[in-house]
Amino acid sequence: MARWKAWDRFIDKFPLISSSRLGQYKTGHLPIPPASLRLRVGEASKHIYMITGERVFRRLRNQLKKYLKLEDCQTILDWGCGCGRLIRNFPEIVPVSGLHGCDIDPDAITWLKSHFPEMSFETVAPYPPTPYQDNQFDLIYGISVFTHLTEDTQFLWLEELKRISKKGGIVAVTVHGETTTDPSLAEPLSESGIADREGDRWMFFKHFLDDGYYRLTKHRKDYVIEKWSNYFEILDFVEKGIGRQDLVIMRNSLK
């Protein structure tokens, strides 16, 4: 983090949005992470960080309505929470005591622990297990996490999400489907149903991850339905359900 301090000071000295305009966002009064952490989740500008956080939260909430009442969830996990773009919106609906976030990025988790102490955050290892108990969560959501994993790592995490979600619980995650294009991945995607290359933001994760961990991964819908059905009952595959990414809604109902 220390190496980014000067950069953070520089970027946030010339914000694209003045602090008074942050009032237009529901969570504009809450702490906002520094630019270097925002950039790791894709949004260096405060304005875009806040807008996309609210928009994705609203879309996720709408898509989930058919399958569960968020208000009834006692335990929710934001898997791959980054610096909290989504989870900061949840106290509007559910008690903070049931809100958990985890990420492999220790800097983001350190920031969240000190700025949102009423929620629970954990740094997790790049490979399971996590410290969570079996059957712990009513809802687990993961926005743009499977979009960064290799096929083998993906299977390990599907197994872990199954272990820590409650029986009957919902797991909702995004993938880059065929609706987002990347010419370099088009051919392998059509052959195998999944394809990856080095992730664009790899440089931000180099200091704590093995070479080759952080990918840019695309999934075909039929691949997800076939392979992920070994872990979960697939309830829905909503193309562009969360904006540019597709949303996969699953229930932990298999043996």
Ligand X SMILES: C[S@@+](CC[C@H](N)C(=O)[O-])C[C@H]1O[C@@H](n2cnc3c(N)ncnc32)[C@H](O)[C@@H]1O
Q: How far is CA 162 from CA 71, 131, 250, in A?
A: 22, 14, 10
Q: Residue 164 CB, nearest distance to ligand X (Å)? A: 12
Tokens linked to 106: 């220790």
Q: Which is nearer to ligand X, 168 or 244 (CB)?
A: 244
Q: Residue 104 CB, nearest distance to ligand X (Å)? A: 4
Q: Which is nearer to ligand X, 121 or 157 (CB)?
A: 157
Q: Which is nearer to ligand X, 15 or 42 (CB)?
A: 42
Q: Residue 125 CB, nearest distance to ligand X (Å)? A: 8
Q: Which is nearer to ligand X, 84 or 193 (CB)?
A: 84
DSSP state string for 32-77 = ---HHHHHHTT--SHHHHHHHHHHHHHHHHHHHTTT--GGG-S-EE
**Where do contacts with ligand X occur on this chain (CB under 6 A)?**
41-42, 79-82, 85-86, 102-105, 108, 124, 126, 143-145, 148, 157
Q: Residue 234 CB, nearest distance to ligand X (Å)? A: 21
Other Cβ atoms less than 10 A from the Cβ of 67: the count is 14
Q: Are 252 and 162 in contact (CB under 8 A)?
A: yes
Q: Which is nearer to ligand X, 46 or 148 (CB)?
A: 148
Q: Are 46 and 32 in contact (CB under 8 A)?
A: yes
DSSP state string for 121-157 = EEE--SSSPPSPPTT-EEEEEESSSGGG--HHHHHHH
Q: How far is CA 127 from CA 77, 112, 190, in A?
A: 17, 21, 27
Q: Residue 189 CB, nearest distance to ligand X (Å)? A: 19
Q: Which is nearer to ligand X, 18 or 63 (CB)?
A: 63
Tokens linked to 107: 């800097």
Q: Residue 159 CB, nearest distance to ligand X (Å)? A: 12
Which residues share a beta bridge with 198? 215
Q: Which of 70, 72, 137 is nearest to 100 (CA)?
A: 137
